[in-house]
């Protein structure tokens, strides 16, 4: 799968979780399972996403959350459900 598509899907999962009443860090295992990706593939994508500032993650890439820059990126790509959402990360 194309790395841009993987990143968009990961951001989609993180954006969905950020919209919860009590948003929390999302485990990379949860992301991998939801997207039917390997854990290595998920964590590899998370490295470049963190470097780009679209997610925040722990050093081991075990947990992550979307940043306001990531929400803007999704909005610019026309991802449904992020219009007007404000992320405070």
Three-state SS sequence of 52-72? HCCEEECCCCCEEEECHHHHH
State which residues form the domain around 33. 3-76
85 within domain boundaries: no
| pLDDT the model gives residue 83 | 56
87 within domain boundaries: no
83 within domain boundaries: no
22 within domain boundaries: yes
| pLDDT the model gives residue 60 | 92
Q: Domains in the chain: how many in total?
A: 1
DSSP structure class, residue 64: E
pTM: 0.81
Per-residue pLDDT band for 9 (boundaries 50, 70, 90) equals very high
Within 10 angstroms of residue 14's Cβ, the number of other Cβ atoms is 27
Per-residue pLDDT band for 89 (boundaries 50, 70, 90) equals very low
55 within domain boundaries: yes
Helix axes 28-35, 3-18, angle to 10 degrees: 120
Per-residue pLDDT band for 29 (boundaries 50, 70, 90) equals very high
């Amino acid at each position: 799968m194309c790395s841009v598509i993987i990143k968009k899907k990961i951001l989609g999962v993180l954006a969905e979780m950020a919209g919860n009443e009590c948003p929390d860090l999302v485990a990379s295992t949860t992301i991998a399972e939801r997207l039917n990706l390997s854990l290595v593939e998920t964590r590899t994508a998370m490295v470049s996403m963190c470097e780009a500032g679209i997610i925040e993650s722990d050093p081991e890439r075990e947990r992550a959350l979307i940043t306001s820059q990531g929400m803007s990126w999704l909005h610019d790509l026309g991802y449904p459900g992020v219009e007007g959402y404000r992320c405070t990360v």
